[in-house]
Chains A and B, each alone.
Chain A
Amino acid sequence: MTTQTKQRRKQALLHRTGSYGKGLLFMLPWLIGFCAFVVIPIGWSIFMSFNKVKIVPGGFKYEWLGLQNFRDAFLKDNNFPVDLITYFQEMLLMVPIIVIFALMISLMLNQRFPGRFIYRALFFLPVIFATGQVLSELFVQGAGEVPFIQQYNLETIVDQYVGPELAKTVMNVLEKVILILWYSGVQILIFIAGFQTISPTIYEAVRIDGASPWDSFWKITLPASIPFISLNVLYTIIDLFTFPQNPILKYIKENMIKVDTGYGYASAMAWIYFGFIFILIAVVLWLFERTMRTRRGRS
């Protein structure tokens, strides 16, 4: 009896390690690639950010600097902190605009009207093209700009109404109107998918109780789509900050090949940049968590 159970247990263990092993075997090709081209390079760049990397014949020479690179980025560099702050200001304005725009468009696309499938596809289309080559080509040729900004001399108007401190940021956002439209494809889709999870019987019930469509939007649609709003905010942040055309990444790339700063310094800047993004994401997550909890507490 006891030997039998022992044997059975042993077999179960063997079976489990076997299936675990098979699972890992399926993972293996991907895992090797992921380690070699994602994990190790990222780890290496952490190491490099603490060093002065010099290019000598036949390879690299590392000189341990500790936190010196990080200190230099804030104290010695004239461009980096300024660029970083302006870019973050701009993004803090862009993210809500993109998400709200996507919310409005998806609300309308969620209505029943003839040919809505075609319109959904149309709004998703730019996402496909908004990658790499095509986009940079468009920007080189100036198709990303909106001509009416110069035509109507909007700059002075903005200057008057918003004040000179914020005017530059607002202008930058205005110049990117097309980009905002282009960047909302995925967000619109996520919202539309989210609206499908709200059951239509609720809308019917409140309509019978005498709520207008306006009320039912504020009382039902919006609260139910809070998780999707948070998902979209996160998606937009990540999308915008890893956008290869952005000035910070460009500046970091420039510094990689400069002789006096080099790769170590560039990595340090990259890590500062990612640190800021992580903080931003953490704040957003915390805020949404809190609103969700108070909602749940109330209901």
Chain B
Amino acid sequence: MLLSRLRRITFFDFALVLGFTALAAFMSLPIIFILNHAFKPTNELFLFPPRFFVQNPTFSNFEQLFLHATNATVPFSRYVFNSVVVVTMTLVSVIVVSTMAAYVLAKYRFHFKQIILSMITLSLMFAPETVGIPRYLIISGIHLNNTYLGHVLPALASPIAVFMLVGFISQIPNELLEAAKIDGASHVGIFARIVLPLSVPAIATISIFTFQGVWGDVETSTLFMQDETMRTLAFYVNSLLSGLQNSVAAQNVAAAAGLLMFIPNLIIFLLFQRKVLETMIHSGIK
């Protein structure tokens, strides 16, 4: 059985798999690098030429990171707590708000719908970095400085999330919604009982994207938060990194912090990846 299956693998298959393995290995080099880098002792961090793999792995980088943080005015755990709170709040609200918007955009007719759709497409092209100051003025105008809402609200109206969800939700057959309506479901009922469960793959995708964005975002912490206790982990790591591109002192702390920022991304991705591949294939194209 196994032998016959093995025999069916042609030379072409073999070459293809070999080529792809090489390419995939090449692509995962940076990930392997960042993993190894975090466990290198100080003398290996400055080896020249730099090595990929760690020779004597230690946890001292992480110890130093936590020590470094406890010496500072704000404890490390506070940054972690802030990040977790902000990410959870943003994820939940982005999912609810964007799905609601995408549902009506995909399935209903109402005023200004075309204008809204074209504005979404246009704003995809706009880099948010360039509008930092007007955003700051609005945030301070409604007194959201140094609150968690100040972190959450700017990420709330995400054009990308709605863009992807509209493509996905419009594929839900209209007959299904009509049947529910005839059975006496209200708008909210249809949304909560039918649209939400059916668009779980798309929601998984946007949660990954939103998570990536919010977890790594430093803009809200830099611009809207003046109180150090309200800033997030990403800001802390960034402030560690920015000061020492050429310095020797805290390279090891930076390496450990880099890995720490990276691990949650990996976990979230592994949890949702199959769903993501499904949505990417469904949305936007057909």
Q: Report B-chain residues with C-beta under 8 Å of the C-beta of A211.
A: none
**B31 contact from A119, A129, A140, Cβ within 8 A:** A129
Q: Which residues of chain B come closer than 8 Å to A140, judged between CB atoms? A: 241, 245, 254
Interchain CB contact under 8 A, B34 and A40: no
Distance A30 CA – B134 CA, assembled complex (angstroms): 19
A38-B159 in contact (CB<8A): yes
Candidate in B49, B104, B108, B216 with the most chain A CB atoms within 10 angstroms: B104
> Which residue on chain B has the smallest CB distance to residue A267?
B130
Render B107-136 as a binary contact track against A, CB cut-off 8 A, 1 for contact: 011110100100100011111011111110
Our pick among B9, B126, B280, B286 for the contact of A42 (Cβ within 8 Å) is B126
Residue ID in chain A nearest B113 by CB atoms: A23
Residue of B nearest to A192 (CB): B281
Return the chain B residue nearest A35 by Cβ: B157
CA–CA, A102 and B131, complex, Å: 33
Query: Is B187 positioned at the interface, with any CB of A under 8 Å from its CB?
Result: yes
Instruction: Determine the distance from Cα of A222 to Cα of B138 in the docked complex, in whole angstroms.
Output: 49
Contact of A37 with B135 in the complex, beta carbons under 8 Å: yes
Residues of B within 8 A of A48 (CB): 133-134
Distance in angstroms from B124 CB to nearest chain A CB is 6
Q: List which A26-40 residues lie within 8 A (CB) of chain B.
A: 26-27, 29-40
A95 to chain B, nearest CB (A): 15
Contact residues in A for B276 (Cβ distance below 8 Å): 124
| Contact, CB under 8 Å: A132 / B212 | yes
- Pick the contact of A249 from B98, B127, B258, B273 — CB < 8 Å? B127
Near A by CB (< 8 A), chain B positions 239-286 give 241, 245, 254-255, 258, 261-262, 265-266, 269, 273, 276-277, 280-281, 284-286
Question: Within the complex, what minimum Cβ distance (angstroms) separates A131 from chain B?
Answer: 4
State in angstroms the CA–CA spacing of A189 and B218 once bound together.
30
Binary interface encoding of chain A residues 256-295 relative to chain B, with 1 for a CB under 8 A from any of its CBs, else 0: 1000000100110010001001100100000000000000
* A137 contact from B17, B101, B261, Cβ within 8 A: B261
Distance, CA A141 to CA B133, complexed state (A): 30
Q: How far is the CA of A191 from the CA of B24 in the complex (A)?
A: 18
Residue A202 CB within 8 A of the other chain = no
Q: How far is the CA of A260 from the CA of B265 in the complex (A)?
A: 40
Chain A min CB distance to B162 (Å): 7
Q: Which residues of A contact B109 (CB under 8 A)?
A: 20, 23
Partner of A37, one of B98, B133, B138: B138
Most chain B beta carbons < 10 A, residue from A132, A186, A242: A132
Chain B residue at smallest Cβ distance from A109: B20
Residue count of chain A within 8 Å CB distance of chain B = 85
> Is residue A22 contacting chain B, with contact meaning CB distance below 8 A?
yes
User: Given the known A-B contacts A19-B108, A114-B17, A242-B125, are A131 and B213 also in contact in the complex, defined by CB atoms under 8 Å?
Assistant: yes
- Other-chain contact of B273, A31, A41, A111, A121 (Cβ < 8 Å): A121
Cα A253 to Cα B212 with chains together (Å):
22
Taking CB atoms and an 8 Å cut-off, the chain B residues in 169-203 that contact chain A are 187, 191
When distances are taken between beta carbons in the complex, the residues of chain A under 8 Å from B285 are 190, 193-194, 228, 231
Which A residues, 187 to 220, have Cβ-Cβ distances below 8 Å to chain B?
189-190, 192-194, 196-197
Interface of A is mostly: helix
A132 & B216 in contact (Cβ 8 Å cutoff)? yes
Question: Closest A-chain residue to B245, C-beta based?
Answer: A140
Chain A contacts for B24, CB-based, 8 A: 119, 122-123
Contact of A42 with B277 at beta-carbon distance under 8 Å, contacts A23-B110, A132-B212 already known:
no
Q: Which of B17, B26, B215, B285 has the most CB of A within 10 A?
A: B285
Per a CB cutoff under 8 Å, which of B101, B255, B262 touches A26? B101
Asked if B29 is at the interface (CB within 8 A of a chain A CB), the reply is yes
* Most A Cβ at <10 Å: residue of B19, B129, B261, B273: B129
Report the minimal beta-carbon distance from B217 to chain A, rounded to whole angstroms.
7
CB neighbours of B108 from chain A (8 A): 19-20, 22-23, 26
Given contacts A23-B108, A41-B135, A143-B33, contact A244 B156 (CB under 8 A): no
Nearest 5 Cβ contacts at the A-B interface: A33-B157, A133-B216, A132-B216, A23-B110, A30-B101
27 contacts between A and B (CB under 8 A): A23-B104, A26-B104, A27-B104, A30-B156, A32-B157, A34-B123, A44-B137, A45-B131, A113-B13, A125-B273, A129-B31, A133-B216, A133-B218, A133-B234, A133-B261, A137-B258, A147-B49, A178-B26, A178-B29, A178-B30, A181-B27, A194-B285, A197-B286, A238-B125, A242-B125, A244-B127, A270-B130
* Residues of A bordering B, CB below 8 Å: 19-24, 26-27, 29-42, 44-45, 48, 60, 105, 108-109, 111, 113-115, 119-126, 128-129, 131-134, 136-138, 140-144, 147, 178, 181-182, 186, 189-190, 192-194, 196-197, 228, 231, 238, 241-242, 244, 249, 252-253, 256, 263, 266-267, 270, 274, 277-278, 281
Given contacts A132-B217, A266-B130, 4 further A-B contacts (CB under 8 A): A20-B111, A27-B116, A37-B135, A37-B157
